[in-house]
Amino acid sequence: MNSTSKTSFRNKVPSRLSRTIFGRNFQNPVLLAAGTAGFGNEVAGVTDVTRLGGLVTKSISLHPRAGNRSPRVAEFRGGMLNSVGLANPGVARVAADHLPRLLRLAPPAQVLVSIIGFQLDEYAAVIDQLGDVSGVAALELNLSCPNSAAGGIEFGADPASIEAVVKTCRAHTTVPLIAKLSPASPNIGTLARAAAAAGADAVSVVNTMPGRLLDRSGQTRLGAGRGGVSGPGLLPVGLQATAVVLESTEGLPVIGVGGIRSADDVRQYLRVGATLVQVGTAGLADPRLPERLVRDLELRGV
C-alpha cells in the first residue's frame, strides 16, 4: 500500500465510527467517564484525548470541595469501590482555568461538563457561573448526590426531584442536558421518563452502585465507610439499564457507562442501543486503554 492509499484509508475510517448527537459530531463513540480523567489534566501525557469521542469532566459544584477522608479507593475482585466525595475546585476555578484549557486541547474530541448540586438552586448557579459554554457539547447532570432540602435523599432517587433538577437547568441554559442515573433504583425506566418529560436530551446509565468493603480486622476499607462500586461487575448492570431506558422512553438517546474494559464490551453497549459509551475505572488502571478501544473499533468495526 503506498502512502496515498494509506492516508485515504485512514480518512475513511472515522466516518464509520462517528456519531451525531446534540447537534455535534463525535468522531467515535468512546468517551472518558466523569471523575476519572479530571479536566483532561489528570490524563495529559498518557492519554491522547484528541483521539477519543470526548471527555466528561469531573462533577463541578458551586463551591470547592475537598472530598472525603482517605482511603478513597479500594479494589476487589469485581472492580473498585470509591468515595472520592465529589472533590473538585468549584465552578469559579473551572470557568476561569480548567474549562477554557480543556476546550482548547480536546478538539476534535467533544467536551461534556458534569455538574452537581446539593440543593436545586446550586445546579442552576453552577450553570450560570460556567462562563462561555459555546464549545461544550452537553452538560451531564450528576443526580447521585444528596438533596439537603429532602433529608439527604439523592435527587436521582425520585422522579419528581429529577424533573425539578432537569427543568431548573433547562431554564438556565440552551446547552443539551444529560441526566446521569444511578443503577440503585429498581425503576430506572420511570426515572428516565421523568428526565425526558422535563426536557433532558439524553440519559447516561449508570453511575456507581452503593457499596462497602471491610478489611480482616472488620474496619471499613474506605475512610468514609461506604462508597460507589465501579468496574467490571457493572457491565451487565449498565447494559440492562441501557435497554430498559431505551424501552421506557421510546428512544431517548442513551450513553452507556459501566464496566467497559474491551472493545467487545463497547460493542455490547452499541448493540443494545447506546449512542455513545463512557469508560471509567478501566482507564484509571490503564490510561491507554480508551485509545486502544477506538483503534480496535476502527480496525474491526462496531
Ligand X SMILES: Cc1cc2nc3c(=O)[nH]c(=O)nc-3n(C[C@H](O)[C@H](O)[C@H](O)COP(=O)(O)O)c2cc1C
Catalytic positions are 145
Q: Whole-angstrom Cα distance, residue 184 to residue 208?
A: 8
For ligand X, give the closer residue by CB, 43 or 260. 260
Minimum CB separation from ligand X for residue 34, in Å?
4
For ligand X, give the closer residue by CB, 16 or 46. 46
Minimum CB separation from ligand X for residue 40, in Å?
14
Minimum CB separation from ligand X for residue 203, in Å?
12
> In the bound complex, which residue of the shown chain has the CB atom lying closest to ligand X?
35
* Contact between residue 6 and residue 72 where contact means Cβ atoms under 8 Å apart: no
Q: Which of 261, 295, 300, 256 is nearest to 276 (CA)?
A: 256
Q: Which residues bind ligand X (CB under 6 A)?
A: 33-36, 58-59, 80, 82, 84, 86, 114, 142, 180, 207-208, 230-231, 234, 257-260, 279-282
For ligand X, give the closer residue by CB, 176 or 258. 258
Q: Whole-angstrom Cα distance, residue 236 to residue 87?
A: 28
Minimum CB separation from ligand X for residue 114, in Å?
5
- What cell was used for 130? 460556567
| Inter-CA distances, 250 with 27, 135, 221, 255, Å | 25, 29, 41, 15
Q: Where are the alpha helices (DSSP H) in 138-201?
A: 159-172, 188-197
For ligand X, give the closer residue by CB, 156 or 159. 156
